[in-house]
Structure 1
């Protein structure tokens, strides 16, 4: 059941409603005259399921505020109960862009406060079966009636526009059009901009998918045209804005869900790939995590979820799907790539997540009865010199032997210490690999261990998050020891006081006995 809110503080002001025709118009109350004070209107546009809605503003003049806090128009991709559906909030005299919904429902809310009125706005909408203006962080476009054959004499134009500081990645997942040598019959044409006068990526037809396209600007035009005969299955493509599809190749970094720490948009499918050099592994830690809760019936992440894959594709091994407020544990990949996919449905968005990752350098670690032996291929860290790799302290740096950096360090040197862990004695030290470039400090730390009994060595990276946690634990341990010391000191003082009391009582008892003996002796005499 659709619920439409209509608030009018002044008697006689009527606005808002449900619009279900294939096209129509809407405007602020009293347009083109001044709209009334303290008014709120809500229009819910509902067209045939499977269609989308194209909204176009023809006039726009509202009270201006930098953050549109006074008078404004809000446009939602669906119903307004969830701010994740918000497409935009507008005021002043700058026209909102044309919007195409990603499903068959769109909501427009107009509100005025108690001060300053203007002439308002007018807009029109139409059921947009083919083409449209796509402004979401990600989206899908397909030929008419896909996956059935597209109709003859069709012409569709999709204008994709994302934020100004981003680019667009367009990927075709299915592509079957009538084929001819110069693609002049049925075709898809791609343009790097908002018009057919911009750079032409090419005309495509037949059964070969176009290569992935990355725009050079924040706009991309996709044109589909069919002639008067011979149809085919058509095509399906996905687009992603830069903030919704990224590849990270730095040795360490972080990323977060769109708009984090604010609510991420609904109806998105975002991909982030962490890719390290061959031989590397990837360690991941989520420092914050809040998505829509699990399905209460299936107890599964059926709504919004974060999926992590071991590789660069959704066909690779799935490490898990997470939702709600239960984040993934710290993960260490088997290979050099991880794919993160955020999928959000059409309602109930949340704060999102923040990911921190670190590339784990491949190395060979061994130990004998007397020393550590560490070896790292030069090609694994081509930007470093031997002084950037050291064990315990900078004086214990690596040596270059052939194509590898090598450290051989006795257990009584370079700060190596013994520890008992799980009733096993091990030698422990820290290997430092310094990537600092003079402008930013960036040093990786690896804990190196040797089991004295089995003579086996191992290592693991200490991430920034783990380092912080260890520092906090150390502070807590110092505080705890301080408190314990106070308790012990108090106990010792109490014991000393108890001992002195016992001695005093003993002396008194002894004196009493001696006096009694003396008295008895006098009586006998």
Structure 2
């Protein structure tokens, strides 16, 4: 079956006019939406200097309208049409204003919404900003932002977001996205940038105001950043790099505050098995030092969270000469953030994970964090330590993790570990409690632990599982009440995956995205070990 949409590429074009104005002559492209034609693109000028598609339909039909002016000296255009699964840019409502914006060296203002006091719900707006010269770039500075955010995660942008794309279409690579009161500064690598605002739930938010302009200046990699408490500061690493770079940022919060950071890679990749000079990675230092001690490296496998102990953080982003990744995005917020955690987790028959504070970067000193893991009444909790990099000491008296066979630390200990130890532990009941403690000395990158639910152990006196005995007893009791022999009851006496895939509905507080439901193939051995315990 063929894809339902079409892609149109302008292979060559020489049409009167300067893109994006296209006043006298133009090639306009339309896609059909229901029973109406909607404009999905416009071209004029010379294809060697004007941004050219590709353009996508919203179905199997596309209409082209070619208009000419008094100057007919151009050679026209040559097109190619092919099948595609991508869709055209949505129709632009009056709330959005003009789609095509001409960036000049003099800054211009884009305010959304401009026709109402608050951003409307369910609105998607797209703006394509183009520099006057193909050798120039487009820079955006967000002056004010009030975009709806998720109350559960300040950085999630799950409700509404504004996304910048490196080129004349949302089909181009993402530069960054933002929400809330974040005010990033960003820049394209070519002569065009696309900005798209998706408002799912506005809740009376006022939108954003930014300035945009064309520039010949290369975007600065690194520098000093001073945070304020009224907004999130967003920084990006090199978006496209043809040579290796070593970028340093020194980020400072106001006095008596610390810093919370969320890091995301703009193009997710698998963490390399070996350190390579051609791979991008990020290091975060708690303070101004970037000494010889490596504070853990982040390769972009999933989101990473970091909380500083003081007012200063140093970020170092290393890019490889032959890397094809697209950089990273860091969101900084100043405030009063606790480095110790108290978390409640719900275990089921899926593999889930939790990590120490700041993992894979160095954990803070003087931390005491706890995790209380609960499962169904007739199940057990099992854990496997996937990665452990703690300070090592005799008897694990300095930095350590200890597991308890119950809901708090008053329960019997299941053991304590430190250094590179990677034990497996199983509770006797439906609770397991873990404590992570550090002192004021050596720190390391911490740990990542897999946890899951498992059936109760076999009762060696009877040969049946304890769950089976309870279920069989219940079946027999019901059968006697009905006046029927127990054998007639067709109910299974063992729990063959009744709860598999079932989430028990318990809340998981402070759970970072990417730490649950993540089953990398490199961890299959740990899962097999759990099943054998």
Question: Normalization by structure 1: what TM-score?
Answer: 0.33
Q: Structure 2 length normalisation: TM-score?
A: 0.33
Larger Rg: 1
**Structure with the higher helix share, 1 or 2:** 1
